[in-house]
Amino acid sequence: MALSIDIITLGVPEVEAAQGFYASAFSCPAPGEGPAAGLDLHGTGRLAFQPLEAMAGDTGADPAASGFRGYVLSSIVQRPAEVRALLDAAAARGATVVKPAKKALFGEFTAAYQAPDGAVWKLAAATKKDTAPVPDPPEPTETAVYLGVAKPKASKTFYEKLGMKAEHDYGDKFIDFAVAGGACRLGLLTRKALAGDVGIDQHGDGFSGLVLTHTVASPGEVDALLDAARSAGAQVTAPTDQGEYAGHFTDPDGHHWKITARP
């Protein structure tokens, strides 16, 4: 019963506007219906939206916030030209470029933008050269969520107690976890390093407007995973049954998760 990220939910000012931006920027098909409704990120996870104040109410948080939200979302593609294409598509629809597309110090080709809803996205190419025609539209090979934490090694221990397995471990510099098909990858960096990676100021506080959702088969599994999170040091909200059986927890660095059972 390992934790994974099945749905990334963003708290946004206007759901319809956010849905339109991302559907267009990533050329996603129309969303479905029900608790798992959201945009299918080409088989690399799902992106859903909720009014910011409603999300804060569900998680028991104050919706007020300022500055850096403490996380970065990422879309990984095959070639540098796909990074450029995704950056251009986002900018054309109102995103603000915070890091132009270019090769980084150690050869990684990246770019970053801030979406109209405030979320920061990093775009990265898995290879360094354009060795084949760019698909139209570009499709991500992976979607990731990078969380800013106080100490990545301590956060790694927390998530390992919930069944996750580290794939790359560079101590308190960077850690990420193995990802199953159809789910999003989780990565951990210090808040300062994460903000610096995408070229923004690290300062900010308040509600992140981000909830990571893991879906299980039954209410019993929801209870078991929430109990495991509590034992590992999370703050847990008791599950409720209002159309779906679900509970929330907050990891030791304040990042919000939702555990829900399939209907």
pLDDT in tens, 96-154: 999 999 987 666 899 999 999 999 999 999 888 887 777 888 889 999 999 999 999 99
Q: Which residues partner with 71 through β-bridges?
A: 147
Is residue 36 pLDDT above 70, yes or no?
Answer: no
**Structural domain boundaries enclosing 17:** 7-261
Percent of the residues in the chain that have a pLDDT greater than 90, as a whole number = 76
The answer to the question of residue 2 being in a domain is no
| E strand or H helix that includes residue 212 | strand 210-216
Is the model's pLDDT at 63 over the cut of 60? yes
The mean pLDDT of the chain is 91
Q: Band the pLDDT of 85: cuts 50, 70, 90.
A: very high
Residue with tokens 């580290």: 166
CB-CB contact of 68 with 195 (8 Å)? yes
Report if residue 1 sits inside a domain: no
Position 90 scores a pLDDT of 97
Is residue 247 a part of any domain in this protein? yes
Please indicate, yes or no, if residue 240 is contained in any of the structural domains.
yes
pLDDT class for 32, splitting at 50, 70, 90?
Answer: low
Question: pLDDT, tens digit, for every residue of 190-217?
Answer: 999 999 999 999 998 889 999 999 999 9
- The whole-number average pLDDT for the span 180-190 is 94
The count of structural domains within the chain is 1
Query: Which residue is associated with the tokens 């770019």?
Result: 111
In this predicted structure, the answer to whether residue 242 has a pLDDT above a threshold of 90 is no
Contact present, 204 and 222 (Cβ < 8 Å): no
Comparing 175 with 103, the larger pLDDT belongs to 175
The one-letter amino acid code at 80 reads P
Does some domain include residue 198?
yes
The domain that holds 23 is classified in CATH as: 3.10.180.10
The answer to whether residue 134 sits within a structural domain is yes
- The predicted pLDDT at position 35 comes to 44
Q: How far apart are CA 46 and CA 39, in angstroms?
A: 5
Q: Which residues contact 30 (CB under 8 A, 6 or more apart)?
A: 23
In this prediction, residue 33 carries a pLDDT of 58
Asked if residue 68 is part of any domain, the answer here is: yes
Is the pLDDT higher at 65 or at 221? 221
Quick one: average pLDDT of 12-28? 93
Residue at 151 is within a domain: yes
Question: How much is the pLDDT for 167?
Answer: 96
What is the rounded distance in angstroms from the CA atom of residue 47 to the CA atom of residue 69? 17
